[in-house]
Structure 1
Amino acid sequence: MLKFINKLFSPVAQYGGLPKSVYILFIARIINRMGGFVHMFLTLFLSSKLGMNEAEIGFYMLLLGIGGMCGPMVGGWLADHLGRKKVYIAAQGLAALLLIPCGFMGTSIYIVWVLIAFNFLGSMVRPVSSAMLTDLTPPERRKDAFSLLYLGINFGVAIGPMLAGFLFKDYLQWIFWGDALTTLIALALITYYIPETKPTEDALKASKAQGTGERAEEGSFMEVLIKRPLLLAFAGIGFFGAFVYAQHSFTIPLQLESLFRDEAATSFGYLMSFNAIVVLLFTSIVMRITRHIKPIYNMLIAYLFYLFGFGILTFADQYSQLSIVNNLDSSSEILQHVLQLGLFYISFFIWTMGEILATTNSGVYIANHSPISHRGRFNAIINIIMGAGFTIGPAITGLVLMSIDFTQFWLIIGAISGVTAFLAYLLGRYEESEKTTTELQYESSSK
């Protein structure tokens, strides 16, 4: 039993033996996310420094979002044709250089247009990075590799906001220069230590003889995509999963505001910090427990965590009215805070388990079902489809909440989570039957 516990809590045992380049990507990801100051404080910059109202901020955020959706498609296409490393260096390098003049521009409106170009270039890197990681790792180690980089993101995000909050108040120019500096440092690591990972012609030819989802394909992107109905179905299921997940940053703050008024922002901040702590402490544990479960079934489990994690908030309004929560002595502020947000902390812990599984296994599933010849483009389009659920979630939720209360809404979210989990189960069963058929075909053709 003691040996099992030691293995469970040993990240070295889980992440050991990966290619050296994966560890370089991990370090680069920490540095890059630690310095991601601009994205963290963009809304506050537009409002408090440039004096924009809500409508103006919404307009510019829409432009930033459009750039963020177009960038991945361009980056994915270029990565498949020119090479991963070349596109990564060019896009990240130009993005970092764009931030340097922003530090000298004070509060000029032109900063916004520079940031739109910066966001476009920065988003180009996302599918490139995923394709690079896929190229570097064998299928049996991809869960470990994707979870390691997920940890790197959270290490960086855990440190970055504290630094950005200090700089934003008195050293605004270093919001831009600091972001540029960390980006360039991370880029230097990629430049000197990561080889070009784009598959060679020999690797493409060899993959065609394999009966796996990664075999190279001929034809246009759309023709190849249509040949991957499992991946399209996965993206459609992921759309609804992302819609549910989006509620943590939209509906929960609104519910906290309705319950705690002026304390809502502080309470949400505590909860999000708790989310980051849970991710850092439990990612390696969750990955070790589920490492032998297929990615699609891990996604199913993730959606079940969403069902219970978000569904439990159906009782949040009733819980907040309990006498034990509201009649504590004023000297017990910490205890009162914990009791008032107790149900929310439980909710955050449960759905964060789902977040860990969904984030790490979605990348693995996409990697295992994307043809080696189209990895960059497939990473881009599938993540755009799934990300659309997160993007439109708040807009739809806002309309729905005008007609029903939070209790009813969380019941709907629970139902969507349950249906999404069931669809993931059906996809898993269909995938197994499809794999069996394919293997039999290959056996027959080889005789």
Structure 2
Amino acid sequence: MRLFTQYKGLKKENYILFFGRIVTNLGAMIWPMMTMILNKKLGLSATQTATFIIVSGVIFLPANIWGGQIADRFNKKRVIICCDIISIVLFVISGLIPLSLFSICVLLVGAFFQTLEGPAYQALVADITPPDKREKAFSLLYLGSNIGLILSPTIAGILFNNYLWLCFVISGLSIMVSTVLIGLFVRDIGAPHKKKEIADDPHQGSILNIIAKSPALMIFIIALSFYQGAYSQFGYLMPLDISKAYPDNGSVIYGTVTSVNCIIVVLFTPVITMLLECVSLTRKYALGTILQAVSFAAFLVSFGFIPGYYISIALFTLGEILTTIVIGTYLSKKVPAQFRGRIYGVTSFASALMTGIVELGSGKLFDVLGSAYAWGFSVAMTLIAVIASIILISVDRRENVKYQEV
């Protein structure tokens, strides 16, 4: 029973955002299949696919920084709604026109506005939630995201061959439902928490000054960027690997692997959140990066072995749960309220940049040397995140003692 009662006491807005995420991700059918769309439907090689994704990512980079600045300057709820409206229109249009690089570009413009709203969404969750409830709030939001994703990848895999256009349209309509829920039931109520937290926080200055004054925050951003860069292989290298092993039904296999990922998240997120409640955020994050490194090593030796894919995704998902419930909580703890949008923007920027580097490197290795070398490269990138995460534990502890003595 405590698995569910641990989420009691949150604000109404937290539960609305939870249901909104369920609906949005129930229709999120394009992104898990993007690599296969570019590779199988449009005929791009692994390197060309990586190049296309990287170029798109470079275009998205300013959205992370701008989104952070906009979130800290304007009403976060209005930012989310305005960006959502534009995304909805473009997603639906991209599904109604013939599939081509042009239609994918229309979709990506819509995704640009989803990226632009990202820092506002994260900051809104932190603003509406008291500090002692934030880990639960981010855990609940993550749980909702994956409840919605349980079915969508499998459905997308089934629709992939003959009804792909429906995936685009459904994605837009699902965002519309979430937008209506936010518009009607969510208030931007961060102000009551902001005054107290700003007064108590020893950091002052711009977001860069805040990062420079906190070695722990700098190390966390490094660990996060390498972790997220390697994490992107879930949607890039993994489908390439499975499609190469199973050319005819790779999309269906990958869809089920993705659904297993979401099922494990739904079943184990409340358990892990409860059992590790007293474990420090930095220790949980380090354990999560270690599990990701182990899972990538398992993918390396699982080519063409379907049970190996499911074992690997189980390890990957347990690591994902640990890191995801930590990120938003840790950043909101280390940064004053008036800078939350910008710190989410900075970390998103660094993660997107590293994602491009990892995907380009693994894409070239996949085309030239094969999937084993590409996975080996991914393991190496994750190990950098593991090392940084382990260092973070002691640095963060010393930094906390220092501020307690001030």
Bin for the TM-score computed over the shorter chain? 0.7 to 0.9
Rounded to whole Å, the distance in 2 between the matches of 1:81 and 1:149 is 24
How far off is 1:44 after superposition?
6.0
| Residues 37-86 of structure 1, C-alpha deviations (whole Å, 9 max, x = no match) | 4445556666787x575588666544532343222222221110112112
Aligned to 1:349: 314
CA RMSD of aligned residues (A): 3.5
CA distance in 2, matches of 1:265, 1:355: 22
Matched, 1:245 2:210: no
Identity level (%): 25
Alignment partners' CA distance in 1, 2:237 and 2:297: 12
Secondary structure, aligned partner of 2:278: coil
Match of 1:421 in 2: 386
Farther-moved stretch of structure 1 (160-169 vs 122-131): 160-169
**TM-aligned CA deviation for residue 404 of structure 1:** 7.0
| 1:210-225 paired onto structure 2 within 5 Å | 210-211=200-201, 217-218=204-205, 220-225=206-211
Alignment partner, residue 82 of structure 1: 74
Match of 2:138 among 146, 157, 169: 146
How far did residue 250 of structure 1 move? 4.8
Query: Is 2:154–2:256's contact at 8 Å kept on the other side of the alignment?
Result: no
- 1:243-392 pair list within 5 angstroms: 243-252=229-238, 267-312=253-298, 316=302, 340-392=305-357
**Aligned 8 A contact 1:64 1:119 in 2:** no
Q: Distance in 1 between matches of 2:256 and 2:158?
A: 18
Q: Report deviation, 1:198.
A: 4.7
Structure 2 Cα separation of the partners of residues 258 and 43 of structure 1: 12
State the match for 2:152 in structure 1: 160
Distance, in Å, in 2 between the alignment partners of 1:274 and 1:398 is: 25
1:299 Cα deviation (Å)? 0.7
Matched with 1:182 is: 174
Alpha-carbon separation, structure 2, partners of 1:411 and 1:103: 36
For residues 228 and 90 of structure 1, do their structure 2 counterparts lie closer, same or farther at Cα, with a shift above 3 Å needed? Answer: farther
CA contact (8 A) 2:286 2:390 kept: yes
Aligned 8 A contact 1:67 1:119 in 2: no
Aligned-partner SS, 1:15: coil
312 and 158 in structure 1: CA distance in 2 versus 1, 3 angstrom threshold: closer
Q: Secondary structure at the match of 2:191?
A: coil
State the TM-score, normalizing by the size of structure 1. 0.77
Deviation at 1:268, TM superposition (A): 4.0
* Compared CA separation, residues 189 and 104, structure 1 to 2 (3 A): same
User: What is residue 217 of structure 2 aligned with on the other side?
Assistant: 231
Gap regions ≥5 residues in structure 1:
1-5, 321-339, 442-447
Structure 1 position 379, deviation (Å): 0.5
Counterpart for residue 207 of structure 1: 197
| TM-fit CA distance, 1:25 | 0.2
What residue in structure 2 maps to residue 125 of structure 1? Answer: 117
Quick one: which amino acid aligns to residue 294 of structure 2? F
Letter in 2 for 1:285: V
Q: What are the superposed Cα offsets for residues 213-249 of structure 1, whole Å, 9 maximum, x if unpaired?
A: xx6x34x443344334322211101222234434445
**Does the 8 Å CA contact 2:264/2:317 hold for their aligned counterparts?**
yes
Partner of 1:114: 106
Amino acid at match of 1:232: M
1:166-224 CA distance string (max 9 Å, x none): 66666666444433322222111111111123537xx6554343146xx6x34x44334
CA distance in 1, matches of 2:146, 2:322: 14
Query: Are residues 71 and 211 of structure 1, via their aligned partners in 2, closer, same or farther at CA, if it must alter by over 3 Å?
Result: closer
Q: Distance in 1 between matches of 2:159 and 2:374?
A: 39
User: Which residue does the alignment assign to 2:87?
Assistant: 95
Separation of aligned partners in 1, 2:374 and 2:166: 42
* Contact kept in structure 1, 2:54 and 2:359, CA below 8 Å: no
| 1:232-273 superposed Cα distances (whole Å, 9 cap, x missing partner) | 211101222234434445555566567667676555444333
Looking at structure 1, the residues matched to 374 and 169 of structure 2 have their Cα atoms a distance apart, in angstroms, of 43
The superposition leaves residues 295-322 of structure 1 with CA deviations (integer Å, 9 ceiling, x where unpaired) of 11101111221233333456557xx8xx
**Distance in 1, Cα, partners of 2:364 & 2:39:** 25
Shift in CA distance, 205/103, structure 1 to aligned 2, threshold 3 Å: closer
What do the CA deviations read for 1:358-390 (whole angstroms, capped 9, x no partner)? 122122111211221111111011122134333
SS across alignment from 2:150: helix
Q: Which residue of 2 aligns with 1:17?
A: 9
Q: Residue 194 of structure 1 is aligned with which of 186, 204, 220? A: 186
What's the counterpart of residue 23 of structure 2? 31
**2-structure distance, mates of 1:341, 1:139:** 43
What is the Cα deviation at residue 354 of structure 1?
Answer: 0.6
Which AA in structure 2 matches 1:302? G
Query: Which residue pairs with 1:3 in the alignment?
Result: none
**Count of aligned residue pairs for this structure pair:** 405
Structure 2 distance, partners of 1:44, 1:402, is: 15
Measured in 2, the distance between the counterparts of 1:409 and 1:120 equals: 28
Structure 1, 31-40 or 379-388: larger mean CA deviation: 31-40
Alpha-carbon distance in 1 for matches of 2:161, 2:373? 41
Amino acid aligned to 1:183: I
